[in-house]
Amino acid sequence: MRARKKVLIVDDAADIRELLEITLGRMKLDTFNARNIDQAHALLKRETFDLCLTNMRLPDGTGLELIKHIRHRYPQVPVAMISAYACLETAVNTLKAGAFDYLTQPVDLTRLRELVSRALRPSSDSTATAQRLVGESMPIRTLRKHIAKLAQSQAPVYISGESGSGKELVARLIHEQGPRTHLPFIPVNCAAIPSELMESEFFGHRKGSFSGAIEDKPGLFQAAHRGTLFLDEVADLPLAMQVKLLRAIQERAVRSVGEQQELVIDVRILCATHKDLGAEVAAGRFRADLYYRLNVIEIQVPPLRERRDDIETLANHILKRLAADAGQPPASLNAQALDALKGYRFPGNVRELENMLERAHTLSENQQIEASDLRLTERKSAVESGLPDLTQIDNLEAYLESIERQLLLQALEETRWNRTAAAQRLRLSFRSMRYRLKKLGLD
C-alpha cells in the first residue's frame, strides 16, 4: 500500500491551520502543523515532506525566510506561500525566493486543491526531454541546469535571446520537466496576431459579440488552462493589450468578449522576445508593471556563436533529421565545410544553421556537403558589408530589388513564413507586404 503524502502547514492562525487540515485531509494527505519558523525547522528535521504551505507573516520571522531555508536544505520540497497581502511586489518576491506558487487570503479552496495537486504531481524525467537541447558546451550545460530548476517552480519566466537561438524549445522543456507536463502547452506568436483580433484570440468571445463572431470561441488562456501559455515576441503586444494581459495574470481570471462573468484560469506564463525588454520599458513601448510581473525570473539562451563547440554535433543532428524526413541516408560535412561553419558568426543562430543545411542537403552531390554548398560567402557579404562597391552595380533597380528580396526572405524565415508576423517585423502593413511578395514572385 502506497504511503500517504505529507504536507507541512506553517501558520500562527489556528483557524487557517484547521481549514487547511480539513481540506488536505479530504485529499487523503497527512498534515503536520507548525505555528512558527522554529517549529517548522524541527518538523523538517524529523519528517520527510512532499509539500509545505506557509504564511507570509509569522511570529519569529517571515515566510520568505522559511522558503529560502527549505530551498537550501530541502530542495526537493515545493513551498507555496499564503498571504493576506495581495500585491504585485509580494507575489514577485515570493516567487523569486523560490516558492512553487502563492495564494491570497481568504483562501479559495478550489485554487488550493489545484495548487496542491499540481505540486504533488510527479515531474517527467528531465534527462529524456533535455536531450533535445543538443550540445555539451558549458553554456548549454548551464542552460540545462537552469531549465531543470525552473521547471519545479510556477514563477513566470522571461526567456531572453536572439532570434533563432531556441527560446521556444527552452519554454517547452521547462513545461515538459515540470508538474504540468501532461497538460496543454500553448505557444502563441504575439507579433502574428492582428491588434483588432488580439483580445478575442487571448480571452475568447461569445457568439454575436462582434461582426464575424458566428459561434462561441475559447481563447488561448482557456486552451492553456492547467497547463502553460508561452507568449513569444511578447514585446510586440500593443499597450492596450498589455493592460488586459496584466489584469488577467494578476487576477488569474479572464472575461471573454461579450461575456459578463469572469472565468478562473490556472496557467503558467512563460514569455520570450528577441528584443531588449528593459529597453522597451525605458522607451515607453512596454509597461513597467507588466515587465516586472513577467520577468520574475530571467533565463538567457546563448547565441550559437558562444557555443561553437556544439556546431558539429548540431549540424550532424540536423542532417540526420533531414535525411529521415526525406527517407534518405544522411549527408555528411567534409572538413572544409565544417571549418567554414565554425568560422561563421551565425546572426540567425540555430534556425539559420537549419535553413542553411536544408538548402545544402538538397543541392549537394553524393551525400557530401562541401563548403561551397553552404554559400557562406554570400551570407557574410550580405550581413557584414557596409555601403556597396558602386563599381559592382550596373543596375540600381535590380540591386535594390535584390536587397528587398533578402530582407523579406530573412523576415519570413525568422517568423517561419508567417506573413503577418513578417510584415510587423519589417514595420509594413499587411497589404504592402502582400504587394511586395507578389512583385518579387515570393507569394
Question: Tens digit of pLDDT for each residue in 343-372?
Answer: 998 888 998 899 889 888 887 777 889 888
β-strands 61-62, 57-58 pairing: antiparallel
Question: Over the stretch 104-113, which tens digit does the pLDDT of each residue have?
Answer: 888 889 889 9
Which pLDDT score is estimated for 440? 76
pLDDT at residue 391, rounded to an integer: 42
pLDDT band at 336 (very low <50, low <70, confident <90, very high): very high
- pLDDT tier at 422 (50, 70, 90 boundaries)? confident
Same domain, 333 and 253: no
Say yes or no: 273 and 365 in one domain.
Answer: no
Asked, for residue 1, whether it belongs to a domain, the answer is no
Q: What is the pLDDT of residues 177-231, one digit of tens each?
A: 999 998 999 999 998 888 888 999 999 988 887 877 788 888 999 999 999 999 9
Q: Is 270 exposed, middle or buried (0-12, 13-18, 19+ CB in 10 A)?
A: buried
Are 163 and 292 in a shared domain?
Answer: yes
Q: Of 98, 120, 142, which residue sits at a domain end?
A: 120
| Residue 366: Cβ-neighbour burial (10 angstroms; 0-12, 13-18, 19+) | exposed
Does residue 88 sit in the same domain as residue 219?
Answer: no
pLDDT band with cut points at 50, 70 and 90 for residue 127: very low
- Nearest-angstrom CA–CA distance, 193 and 430: 12
Question: Band of the pLDDT at 384, cuts 50, 70, 90?
Answer: low
Q: Any idea of the CA torsion for 211, 217, 219, 220, to the nearest 10 degrees?
A: -120
pLDDT at 323: 86
Does 61 lie in the same domain as 18? yes
For residue 365, the 8-state DSSP code is: B
Mean pLDDT of 97-116: 87
The pLDDT assigned to 392 comes to 45
Could you tell me if 255 and 136 lie in one domain? yes
Of the three residues 300, 327, 358, the one that is the final residue of a domain is 300
84 in any annotated domain: yes
pLDDT at residue 161, rounded to an integer: 92
Which range has the worst mean pLDDT, 127-141, 201-215, 277-291?
127-141
Identify whether residues 268 and 370 lie together within a single domain. Answer: no
Residue pair 340/374 in contact (Cβ under 8 Å)? The answer is: yes
- For 234-256, how does the pLDDT look when each residue is reduced to its tens digit (9 = 90+)? 999 999 999 999 999 988 999 99
Residue 395 pLDDT: 60
Nearest to residue 268, comparing CAs of 89, 84, 119, 107?
119
Residue 191 belongs to a domain with what CATH number?
A: 3.40.50.300
Mean pLDDT, rounded, for 253-272: 92
Looking at residue 428, what is its pLDDT?
Answer: 86
Q: What is the CATH number of the domain that holds 321?
A: 1.10.8.60
User: Which of the two residues, 87 and 412, has the higher pLDDT score?
Assistant: 412
Q: How far apart are CA 166 and CA 150, in angstroms?
A: 17
Average pLDDT, the chain: 86
Cα 193 from Cα 415, distance rounded (Å): 12
Q: Which of 19-28, 161-170, 372-381 has the lowest mean pLDDT?
A: 372-381
Tell me the average pLDDT across 389-394.
48
Residues 244 and 361 in one domain: no
SS3 of residue 298 by DSSP? strand
The reply to whether 206 and 242 lie within a common domain is yes
Total structural domains within the chain: 4
pLDDT at 72: 85
Is cis: bond before 184, omega within 30 of 0? no
Q: Give the range of the structural domain holding residue 188, as residue numbers without chain letter.
A: 126-300
- Residue 293 has a pLDDT of 92
The residue among 94, 120, 146 that closes a domain is 120
